[in-house]
Amino acid sequence: MLAAILALAILAIIFGLLLGYGAIKFKVEGDPVVDQIDAILPQTQCGQCTFAGCRPYAEAIAKGEADINQCPPGGETVILALADLLGRDPKPLNAEHGTHGEKTVVIIDEQVCIGCTLCIQACPVDAILGAAKHMHTVIKSECTGCNLCIPPCPVDCIHIVPVGTTLQTWTWPSPRDEHVHSA
């Protein structure tokens, strides 16, 4: 009897120490789920989900404070990927946050621009180049199409243009979708 209790107690202490050591040694910094969610989100940083960027939205999803259907730029693809990752049921995009459309970027009409720098401050990815009272321009390859620079512009010189398809970005259509359309 006593021997059994002793043996179990010793085992419990050993495993307890092991677990305690493991908890310190293999401590995970931050929440890995947030990183995984953040990797799925399109990183436009547009804030249409009501959060201040993709990462805050990812954190809110992980905490259960936000739903998975609040990202209009990501559209259905992102919702499906999030549903798959989190084991939730996919649902259609919440129209309150916007609609999923063609990819766009912005351009600055350089003739009209007065060089106020307001758009530069608004850009979440520093994709606008310029200085006070000097012409501004958008680095097209870095623009995420978040359109956050448009409201601050006092002279409405920023316009949305579709990215368009080039030879490099063109994809073959799916025969399945073609059938759906023709049916």
Partner 1 sequence: MSIPRKLWRIHGGLHLPGHKAESMQQPITDAPVPPELILPLQQHIGNVATPIVNVGDRVLKNQIIARAEGYVSVPIHASSSGTVIAIEPRVIPHPSHLTDTCIVIATDGKDEATPVAAVLSDYRQMDPAELRNRIRDAGIVGLGGAGFPAFIKLNPGPQLKIHTLILNGAECEPYITCDAMLMQEQPRAILDGLRIMQHALHAQRCIIGIEDNKPAALQALQAALHTDEHTLIEIVAVPTLYPAGGEKQLIKTLTGLEVPSHQLPASVGVICHNVATAYSIAQAISHQQPLIERIVTVAGPAIPKACNYRVRLGTPMKYLIEHTGASPSLPARLIMGGPMMGFAINDLQTPVIKTTNCLLALTSQELPKTQFELPCIRCGECARACPAQLLPQQLFWHAHAKDFDKIQDFNLFDCIECGCCSYVCPSHIPLVQYYRFAKTEIWAKEREKSKSDIARQRHEFHLQRLERKKREDEERKRKKKEMLDKVTQTDSAADAKKAAIAAALQRAQAKKATQASPQNVEHLSEQQRQQIDEIDKRRANPSTVASQPGKDNES
Give the footprint of partner 1 on this chain (CB under 8 A): 38, 41-45, 53-54, 123-127, 142, 144, 165-167, 169-176, 179
Nearest to 105 by CA among 134, 74, 146: 146
Instruction: Write the CA distances from 175 to 96, 165, 171, integer angstroms.
Output: 33, 19, 12
User: Two tokens at 17?
Assistant: 């120490």
Taking the complex as a whole, the smallest distance from the CB of residue 85 to partner 1 amounts, in Å, to 13
Beta strands in the chain (DSSP E): 104-108, 128-129, 137-138, 158-162
Taking the complex as a whole, the smallest distance from the CB of residue 99 to partner 1 amounts, in Å, to 19
Give dist(CA 54, CA 52) in Å, integer.
Answer: 7
Q: Which is nearer to partner 1, 87 or 173 (CB)?
A: 173
Check: CB of residue 95 under 8 Å from CB of residue 106: no
Taking the complex as a whole, the smallest distance from the CB of residue 63 to partner 1 amounts, in Å, to 20
Q: Which is nearer to partner 1, 179 or 181 (CB)?
A: 179
Taking the complex as a whole, the smallest distance from the CB of residue 131 to partner 1 amounts, in Å, to 16
